[in-house]
Amino acid sequence: MEMRKSILAAGAVLVAAGLAFTGCSADTSGGGDTGSKVLTVGMPNGPQQPNQNPLATGSASLSLGYAFVVYESLMQNNEIDPTEAPTPWLAESVEWNPEYAQATITPRDGVKWSDGEAFTADDIAFSIQLRKDNPELNIDFPDQYGDISVEDGKVVVNFTTGQYVNQVKLYRLLIVPKHIWEGEDAVTFSDDDMIGTGPFTLKSFSAQAVTLTPNETYWGGKSKVAELRYDAYNDNAGLTTALTTGEAQWGWTFIPDYESTYIAKDPDHFNQVAGGGFGVDVLYLNNETKPFDNLAFRQALNMVVDHADITKTAGYGVWPEITSVTGLPQPSGDAFISEAYQGQELTVDVDGAKKVLTDAGYTYDGDKLIDPDGEAVSFKLTNPSGWTDYLDALGIIAEGAKSLGAEATVDAIVQDTWFNDTIPFGNFQASLHWTDAGSTPWNLYSNIMDGASYVPLGETANWNFGRYNNDEVTQALATYKSATEDSDRQAALDVVQKHYVEDVPGIVIWSRPAVAQYSTQNYTGFPTSEDPYANPQPTGPQAALILSKLTPSE
């Protein structure tokens, strides 16, 4: 399948400045020049249309990722270790009030746009106001911005609700120049010149390849990467080939048996690295459709899903196993597991699952499971064709269902149908889908269980695709999001975890850390398992940080 996608103390939080470029050359005398070595980033998204808008979902610059080396975020957050404090970037600091309903942003001094104009607080305020004024661009804080103002050279952003769980979303916003954008329609602006604060500037664009060169006046010092190229491949197989031949040196895709398929081709230079975080893949169970409208069957299926086999066989060991009954990935989730579930691990228990079913009125006709209505239990597990890790995982889940006497079949469908019909409208019985990561477990549970995202079958759901609806859980998630004390947040999380374990609204099947492949043939300094200083993928604000640490290979 194509891959998708700082816990701070309660009270006012001030993130100190001065940490930005620990690995970046501050040499502005030209010492960063390295000749003609090219770093090629590959993405499996096919030919692109000439739209460079870094705010518009689906634009070429966001699809391939080069928006993140031309434009920059307020802060850098390490998605690999969500508990790590953010690193100042375009903002020297961000201070929150105790309710996390107001953020005060201090811009970095001495930054210039690539056309020579000075970067100021007005640019930050303008960029955030653009999101507020254009709902199409405001995917992070829909209907949640209050007044946005500049006071004494600082930007004050008010929110209509507490944003404890969404701090990182503010830190990751890309900032654009007011003097360029203020006369444009931000939704339709193609941004051909791409005037940014980042380490690179746009040199040339075509549907298949984009070339960028170092920003000579970059505030962090001229990059030691002589040239960046972003190549568009038609699919994951095309990108895998480009990575294994060295045609592309940085990218991210799921490579089955990556050690022999990829690493073994050049073990001295080829690397794959995966980090932690709270991202998971979950088997969404349609709580309003047979057989998953029956709690006992959801519980029983959860008891026969072999998480270890799914990780080893379907994920080739790339996606770490989920062992906690709470569904939380570890070690990121260790500090959040409720006391009631500490040490409780998932096990395969077929006999126990059958007892749950028979106690709830299920019977057997030979080996065939019959539900309380007298019907044989069967269901489809649906995902797009070609998403091999998902489909293989579904096959293992189907084997678990068979051990209960239920007939489960894997239904591989067209990707567009899944995205645009199956998932949003609830036209499935069970389907694998990812969750947002975030800096706390809130996104994981909210995406699965939040009644605030509930809509009836047939209406478009943005999350909670399984249509689970429990007022106690909805209130607990709202409490967690707006609480000002850690103790209140944990108490709310205890409620959510209790219902996740007991109600089985969905089944988290494995952790989905950020995974990337890279070659050190031309440049070194990428994140490693020993030094996981950033999400290793090239398609996020962290790209600017990673580039600051790259140096030419010997």
* Domain identity same for 288 and 150: no
* Domain identity same for 285 and 176: no
Decide: 309 and 397 in contact? Cβ < 8 Å.
no
Whether residue 17 has pLDDT greater than 70: no
The DSSP H or E segment spanning 179 is helix 178-181
State CA 301 to chain mean position distance. 27
C-alpha to C-alpha distance for 391 and 279, rounded to whole angstroms:
19
pLDDT band at 4 (very low <50, low <70, confident <90, very high): very low
What value does the mean pLDDT take over residues 523-529? 95
What value does the mean pLDDT take over residues 308-336? 93
SS3 category, 520: coil
Cis peptide before 54 (omega within 30 of 0): no
The pLDDT, as a whole number, for residue 317 is 86
* Domain identity same for 157 and 304: no
The pLDDT, as a whole number, for residue 554 is 85
For the stretch 403-420, pLDDT in tens is 999 999 999 999 889 988
Q: Is there a domain that residue 4 lies in? A: no
Q: Is there a domain that residue 554 lies in? A: no
- Where a domain ends, among 181, 199, 229? 181
Whether residue 276 has pLDDT greater than 60: yes
Considering the chain, what is the average pLDDT of its residues? Answer: 91
Domain assignment of residue 162, given as a range: 71-181
C-alpha to C-alpha distance for 408 and 413, rounded to whole angstroms:
16
The pLDDT, as a whole number, for residue 28 is 27
* Domain identity same for 499 and 357: yes
* Domain identity same for 174 and 284: no
DSSP states along 74-87: SEE--TTSTTSPPE
**CATH at residue 139:** 3.90.76.10
One-letter amino acid of 83: T
Q: Is there a domain that residue 272 lies in? A: no
Whether residue 26 has pLDDT greater than 90: no
For the stretch 351-380, pLDDT in tens is 999 999 999 999 999 999 999 999 999 999
Q: Is there a domain that residue 26 lies in? A: no
Q: Is there a domain that residue 55 lies in? A: no
In this prediction the pTM is: 0.78
Q: Is there a domain that residue 413 lies in? A: yes
- Where a domain ends, among 124, 154, 181? 181
Tokens of 304: 């026969």
- Where a domain ends, among 181, 212, 236? 181
pLDDT band at 264 (very low <50, low <70, confident <90, very high): very high
Whether residue 20 has pLDDT greater than 70: no
**CATH at residue 413:** 3.10.105.10
The pLDDT, as a whole number, for residue 427 is 98
* Domain identity same for 290 and 176: no
What value does the mean pLDDT take over residues 275-280? 86
Q: Is there a domain that residue 209 lies in? A: no
C-alpha to C-alpha distance for 94 and 334, rounded to whole angstroms:
27
C-alpha to C-alpha distance for 200 and 195, rounded to whole angstroms:
10
The total number of structural domains that make up the chain: 2
Q: Where are the alpha helices (DSSP H) in 349-441?
A: 350-359, 388-403, 415-417, 423-425
Tokens of 471: 């007022």
For the stretch 165-204, pLDDT in tens is 999 999 999 999 999 999 999 999 999 999 999 999 999 9
